[in-house]
Amino acid sequence: MTTNAIPPFGLGTFRLNDQQVINSVTTGLELGYLHIDTAQIYGNEAEVGQAIADSGVARSDLFVTTKVWTENLSRDKLIPSLKESLKKLRMEQVDLALIHWPSPNDELPVAEYMQALAEAKQQGLARLIGISNFTIGHMQQAIGAVGTAEIATNQVEIHPFLQNRKVVEFAQANGIHLTAYMPLAYGKVMQDATLLEIAGKHGVTAAQVALAWSLQQGFAVIPSSTKRANLAANLEAVKITLSEAEMQAIAKLERGERLANPEFSPAWD
């Protein structure tokens, strides 16, 4: 992948470990996924790297993301931690390195870890850099530290029940791309009456509708699954076009239902 664009459809690996993550990534690559998302804290970078190495897919065809954990944000730890990630992934470079979460309680200034991440990019450890779980305030500081052009994406929780509109509006107004994680709300989209009704009209599943809703807004999506049928079905979401009325109906599902909210989370917008 030599383009600066983030492939719109990726495979998430959160909560997948050991053989389970090897199987998921292996199957995903067989089905045509080219964007794989992992993180230091997932504890599965080595298995993701193994699955990629064993797949026979050319590294140059893939887009691989990892995320720097909060304990590694200080200037002296960030680059060594990324080198360790690369060793586990069996790669010389990731396509995208993200700051996974802002420093808990803002103990470290955003500028410190964004500048360290920019330095990692200059050293060739990452082709692109970006952020994850950043609030508007954190985004403003990141822009101040490295400039908008250096921020390839902000990866945040977005699904029909948490539409994160303030963050989305700020990011889009400032030209920052968004990646939606947990786009299926841990499977909760499958039970929603509105999504099921729209799915019925299109002859697809509620999960595919939820993914299409994110894709149609220009977000990248990184759903995860361990089942081949679901991995294959998720990819089909790119073929769905929702009407303006359907997009509006899904917009009404917003209920502020945040699923990723650890105790060290920033004060959300």
Alpha helices in 150-227 (DSSP H): 165-173, 193-202, 206-216
φ, ψ for residue 233, nearest 5 deg: -65, -40
> What is d(CA 245, CA 262) in angstroms, rounded to the nearest whole number?
35
Q: Which of 42, 113, 181, 186 is catalytic?
A: 42
The CA–CA distances, whole Å, from 103 to 99, 100, 121, 131, 209 equal 9, 9, 20, 12, 34
Residue 189 near residue 182 (C-beta atoms within 8 A): no
- Give the β-pairing of 35-37 and 11-12: parallel
Q: What are the tokens at 83?
A: 């080198």
Q: What are the tokens at 262?
A: 């650890």
Radius of gyration of the chain (CA): 18
Strand arrangement, sheet containing 35-37: 11-12, 35-37, 63-68, 94-99, 126-132, 151-157, 178-181, 220-221
Q: Is 181 a catalytic residue?
A: no
Residues serving a catalytic function are: 42
